[in-house]
């Protein structure tokens, strides 16, 4: 199923099936090795914005972890983010659901943009809202990543500028690749905006066996892939459903960024830049022999933990005489540093 609004914007779910509560972790969390990252971070309250159809704010999966919901559509008042579609709730569940989320302690800022004919403007308003919100909020409440499981068949210059400004301010923007694929890397489905602009992190979908999902778009702008088929997550009314599509792949990556941002802040005492976070994210990929036009740099794999990042080098001035170099080297060695002397 490819849901479309009259403006031309579409969500990216593909198949919807009913689901019953699980007694174990959903397969997709095990597939990306989310539990292996949880000893380092489970999200730590990092705030992720979900620009979508709204959210079931009463769903127990999100209890106590919803921040500043906002409705940009004309359906209901500005605080009404009720989700009559289900797409936004499902996406948010994969990001931060208590039992079905990759980052189960992250917080969700639901921004409802679907529901009327002015979706284009609603999305731009949501991006701009995040930008101005971050300027005035407490540091711990900053939005660090945005999930965009939607796309349109045309370019929007104002939206592209809004995304660029947000990314430049340190916020990662994750976008679903789109569901018009045919499984052939030689045919490039580039008509899903904003998936093809370079500022965003574009996510393709893979199936349970690790193969590329046949519906997933392929082109040279794909950054990485994540599980997208038969994803178990929250549904309005306190329930759960299985959905498939690149819409379901993107929130895995958004959640991974919440984990990375939080771990970085624990170590460094500050948030990383978007470029720093994206670089660490792309280290957390499983390299497989699949064309990069289908999966980018690989499949999300949170089992990779580099305990040495980031690294720093202290540069000391050179000495004109050997004795000065020996004294300085001795002092550093006495303090536990490994040093060596180089003759110039």
Query: Both tokens of residue 68?
Result: 């500043």
Q: Measuring CA to CA, which residue among 299, 281, 160 is closest to residue 228?
A: 299
* C-beta separation of 236 from 60 below 8 A: no
Helix intervals (H) in the chain? 27-31, 34-37, 87-96, 119-136, 157-168, 246-268, 274-283, 292-295, 322-334
* C-beta separation of 103 from 259 below 8 A: yes
Residue 68 CB contacts under 8 Å (≥ 6 apart), including other chains: 109, 133
* C-beta separation of 50 from 130 below 8 A: no
User: Strand locations in the chain, DSSP E?
Assistant: 10-11, 15-18, 47-52, 70-71, 107-112, 143-148, 150-151, 172-176, 201-206, 224-227, 231-235, 239-244, 285-286, 299-300
The answer to whether the peptide bond before residue 310 is cis (omega within 30 degrees of 0) is: yes
Place of tokens 């990779």: 304
* C-beta separation of 95 from 37 below 8 A: no
Give the active site residues.
52, 87, 247
**Gap between the Cα atoms of 58 and 79, Å rounded:** 14
């Amino acid at each position: 199923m490819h849901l479309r609004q009259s403006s031309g914007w579409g969500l990216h779910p593909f198949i919807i099936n009913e689901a019953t509560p699980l007694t174990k972790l959903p397969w997709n969390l095990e597939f990306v090795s989310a539990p292996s990252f949880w000893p380092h971070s489970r999200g730590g309250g990092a705030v992720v914005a979900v620009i979508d159809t709204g959210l079931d704010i009463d769903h127990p999966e999100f209890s106590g972890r919803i921040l500043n919901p906002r409705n940009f559509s004309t359906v209901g008042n500005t605080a009404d983010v009720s989700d009559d579609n289900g797409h936004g709730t499902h996406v948010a569940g994969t990001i931060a659901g208590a039992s079905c989320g990759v980052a189960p302690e992250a917080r969700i800022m639901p921004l409802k943009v679907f529901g009327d004919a002015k979706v284009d403007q609603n999305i731009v308003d949501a991006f701009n809202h995040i930008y101005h919100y971050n300027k005035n909020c407490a540091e711990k409440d900053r939005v660090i990543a945005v999930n965009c499981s939607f796309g349109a068949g045309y370019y929007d210059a104002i939206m592209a500028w809004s995304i660029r400004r947000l990314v430049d301010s340190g916020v990662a923007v994750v976008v679903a690749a789109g569901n018009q694929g045919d499984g052939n890397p030689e045919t490039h489905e580039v008509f899903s905006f904003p998936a093809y602009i370079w500022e965003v992190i574009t996510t393709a979908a893979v199936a349970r066996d690790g193969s590329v999902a046949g519906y997933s778009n392929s082109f040279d702008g794909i950054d990485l892939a994540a599980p997208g088929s038969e994803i178990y997550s929250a549904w309005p009314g306190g329930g759960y459903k299985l959905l498939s599509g690149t819409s379901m792949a993107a929130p895995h990556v958004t959640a991974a960024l919440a984990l990375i941002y939080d771990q970085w802040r624990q170590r460094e005492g500050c948030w990383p830049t978007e470029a720093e976070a994206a670089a660490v994210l792309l280290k957390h990929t499983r390299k497989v022999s699949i064309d990069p036009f289908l999966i980018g740099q690989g499949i999300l794999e949170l089992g990779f933990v580099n305990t040495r990042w980031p690294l720093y080098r202290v540069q000391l001035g050179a000495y004109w005489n050997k004795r000065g170099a020996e004294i300085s080297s001795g002092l550093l060695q006495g303090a536990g540093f490994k040093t060596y002397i180089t003759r110039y």
